[in-house]
Chains A and B, each alone.
Chain A
Amino acid sequence: MAADSKVPISGPGRAAAEAFRAGGAADFLPFLWVTGQVALLTWVVDVYEIEQAAFGHVMQLTLVGFVVHHFLPPALKLPFFVLISVLALGLVLGAVNAAWVVAVGLALIGACHLPISFGKRIAMVVTLGATMVAFQAGWVSSGKISVIWPILGSMFCFRLVVYLYDMRTQGGAFGFWRSLAYFFMSPNVCFLLFPVVDYKTFCKTYYNDEPVRVYQSGATWISRGVVQLVLYRFVYQFLVMDPSEVASAGDLFRYMVTTLLLYLKVSGTFHVIVGMLHLFGFNLPETHHRWLLASSFVDYWQRINIYWKEFMAKLVFYPVNFRLSQREGISEKGALVLSVGISFFFTWLLHSYQWFWIRGTYLLAAPDMAFWGILGLLLAVNMLWQQKFVRKRSLKKGGGWSWKSDLSLGLRTVLTFMAICVLWSLWGAESIGEWLAMWAQAVRVEPGDVGLIGGVLLAVGLAGAMLGRSQREWTYQGAAGKGVAKAAATGLNWRQLGWAGAGVLASCAVLMTPVKTRLVYHASPQVASVLKSLRTSRLNVRDAAILEHGYYEDLTHAERFNPQLFELYSKMPAGMDVRIKGEGIRPTHDFRRRELVPAQSAVFSNGIELKVSAHGLRDREYDLHKPAGTLRIAVVGASEVMGWGVENHETFENLLEDWLNTHNTTDRYSRYEVMNFAVSGYGAIEKLIVLEQRVLDFDPDVLFYMANKKEYQLVIDRIVEAVRAGVSLPYDFLETITAEEGIDRDTHKVLAKGRLRPRAPEMLGLVYNRVASLCRDRGIQPVWVYVPQPGAEPPNRRDINKFFGHAEEAGFDILDLSDAFAGASTDELRMAEWDSHPNVAGHRALAECLKRKLQEHPRLSHLLLGDGVPIDRVGQVFKEPSRVQTKE
């Protein structure tokens, strides 16, 4: 490999770079202008926690590196970029892992340059790749360095193919630093889903324009990317629907459009990545171009993920088409259709291949195949059409068009938008059956639906007519490109830089609007709450449920089509199974689905043991018969109460028990017992079953019904799962409601959930009434406790407030622990980024909050903690009407 550090920059960029170093304030000010923007963007990235803390650190490194890099002589710029990239690896992965990434990467690059035949080099690279496959798939253990394989996969899985292709076709200049810069690009360590940068373009665009102009476009693209990522958060957190929520044509439309808009995550990420590379002189072309405004399928393919389209055209479409065209018996049209078909087959296959490198698992799902197959077919038909009826082009920039052509363009944009929305909704569906069930639910048209659908489509049509004709921002004009020469000749244009920079500053100013200012808060507390919520990366309610569902079921769908969960699962150790394993938990084949096994144990995914007591509780040992003078509190709940991932003595109910016993200064009770009947995954119905079948045998004085944010959802999900599995429902009122809604074994779960959703408040209310009346009949005081999850609480408490209403109506005393985690960061309180169960600190915070709320509650503090109620009268006092009932 030739050493290229002496001449890394060619063309106008080199002259400009050298001139700059010799220049004065006139050159310095534009650079300062851009540096200010990059600094501001770094701050925005930090405040919004874009792509988690690791990216914030890499962005800070990029800012410092950008300034130093600019003042270096041209010969040192590429080596310095490589140094920054390696430092970014170390910053995120640690020194040892970073060293391994570099070592394996060097081996792969070295294999491409061995002094042997090209075929043998390919064989060598394939052998090394196969070894990496074995590590990534877990066939061979790589121990503590297993974290490096997804990074290496992301860096090399496609770029190595392009590199070898360009080597074969002499498509680019090769050199040591250039190759290292190409493979170890600094943003890659934070973004595993990385655009397939073309090697030749990477080389040709390096400082092919005035440096400050390249930097300015970098700042502009980063700002565009950040805006898109914040918009994505808004769509994701507030607009996305679950398929089972679709109940009308308007809902279906909203579902489809928001599913498509989730792509903002990829588009925004790619803008940020390429923008960062611009700061080091890589003047790469844009990765997406107004992809919502495509006016045909061919146009769509040319606007969305442009690098991928170029990659497929370069490596598959053109080579296959050229080969087929030379064969006898294959027509021009036949060759076109076949080459499109083969390109889309590879697109599907390579997405699975990419998935393997990122997750270490295989991705084979019917909606994926259907999506790529249908898109490929539509594209082939569209290309045949264009082959026959040549589309209108013009040499005039945005001119020469009539209102008729504008109208036609707008209409075509709307039709393409709709078709793409339909296709994306198919891609996003768990199965084709789910997708069809969703359509079956959307036959009703609500009054506002026409306005919603018409308004959105009109906006798309108008935007398409006005903006759809714009040309891509292509910075690579080729070796003889006049555009570059002209740009170099004209030098810097202050007005151009000023406007571009003003756009960046305006974006930052809007994003950094203080959410707590009186202006925003008084205008609308709800808007202030939304703005605040956008500043953190969190799962929406639907994905939090999918993630939690993964603790008991298969994870495949959650991983497949979901940028947020995709990101989250990418951070999990490869092959990690989050389910509990061992003899301590077993399936029941009834409505509860699982139970703890007495005197057995199991292991959580973090290695902590789940010890089950002789009576089948995740707790200490207690006698069946309550000892004299003891106040016994029974706790029913789900995994966060059971103590997922923490030791027995660390659960908040045991911390409460310890506190009650150590601070028992009265003679009322000789002892407190807090008995934990919680089992992971249990919803309201299962808790009622536990109360009836298990809790009452232990003669408790108080019941703590622990509720969480999924009260409605778990009632619906469990009923649907039971009915579809042929498991009988435990209560008549549930049988009646499911029969009234026409739900049986054959009803698709999306349809069944959609029908039950409006009945959820009624069902939960009935369950609560039953729990409360059962307690009152037995002299047990029912207490409803709301338990939050660290970082997983929905920003909108509408449903949670309804739960409080149901509990009050049923006659529970209420303890709200919503503020248990206030003042601490989410990461300090939860198990892991992909696991929102409270950790040891989280359980301590819950225990502290529960103690405080008990002390503050006039009635409960009097009954449980205060003087004046003899032990033999406790049950009788509890039978008295509660605070809420008194009001009624």
Chain B
Amino acid sequence: MTTSEAKAVRAGSATEHELLAEARLRVDLLGEVTSALTGSLNLRRTVLRLLDLLTPRVADWAMVVLVDDTSGLTLHGGADPTFATSIPRALIEGTGVERVLRSGQDELLHVSVELDSTEGLDTMIPHPRLREEAVELRPADVLSLALTARGSTIGTLVMIRGAGRGFPDDDVEFAGQIASQASIALDSARLYQERGRVASILQASLRPPDLPAIPGARVSARFRPAAEHLDIGGDFYDVHGAADDWLLVLGDVCGKGVEAAVLTGRARQGIRMAAYFDRRPSAVLKALNDVLCENDSSRFVTVVCARFHPSPDGSSAEVDIAVAGHPAPIVVHADGEVEQVEVAGIVAGVVPGASYTEVRVRIEAGDTMLMFTDGVDEARGSDGFYGMDRLLGLLPDYAGAGPVALCEAVERSVVEYLDGRAHDDIALLAVSCER
């Protein structure tokens, strides 16, 4: 089209041109709604996003009503988009909100300025604070849209245009398109939230526990699961005991991810139970092995089990150690000398009746004992495995630095070595005397 032709078109049919521009704006907004709402899987954030897109461009005021899973309703928005409140379902009986929720049909209402004409608002806005805001906007059009996704009406979207700026037919249709896009995003977020609630409760029970304070000792742990965003995995640790008799356990069940995490929960519990009857590490591992073998499961577990006896003045400790197919702990002495404890034993859950040997080491002031899983030495970087040599070479620099600094240094060194590559679960547990 030449410039003169364009001018002719503009002059001849200005309204057509305006209509085109208007249509373009709507397509843009609809696209924006769709892409913006797919950005969040969190229900509250999705609602906030929707309200932000709608006001002031589509309406002067907007509210989202969602049916929640405890047979009540949650109201979001109004003048303050972050406002949210719950109301019982009984409160909307016989109102327009209930009608829209049950029928899935949109409703448009004109509310004039007369003082006694708030009846229409009562029926669409079941909350005093929100209703007051709406009253201020009279004369107003109240558009109540059903939020229907995947065959269910999950809520309503109530929008108001005030001061006589009503909703013409094509605006109602456009609002309906937005509502149908929004419904799907809100429904996905709702499904995610319900699943998320179940998952997070189960997850919390499988996450490594908070460490207790051991009198006369310092203890620290680190856990970086293979699936970092899940916060759970196949490595586990646990510390339990009292007074001068503590059991420190670190282990690795075969596999990773959720399935492995479920097994770590059982292994941790089994070890606690076994320790209740006999706290010697050799006895604990024997019991764990026998139980795992009896269960006829193909799953096996590697464990290092250390019984820690701090001296009353916190200057030294006796430690009895047994392992089941697990790398032996490393003692980092205060003077920088590093030695791996000489102890070995078969992996638990494979050979019925296997027995385990125990060794005793002495930890002096400034020494730290480090237990770790194979996610450390088998971490793969650009030069192959991280390896024991690299680990043993790193540790002397942290002699005397204590368990927290030691765990942090090892984790950091391994993660930097990985340089963003995938890794197995990594768990560390370190203990030293207090002084």
Indicate, yes or no, whether A interacts with B: no
Please list the residues of chain B having a beta carbon within 8 angstroms of any beta carbon in chain A: none
Please list the residues of chain A having a beta carbon within 8 angstroms of any beta carbon in chain B: none
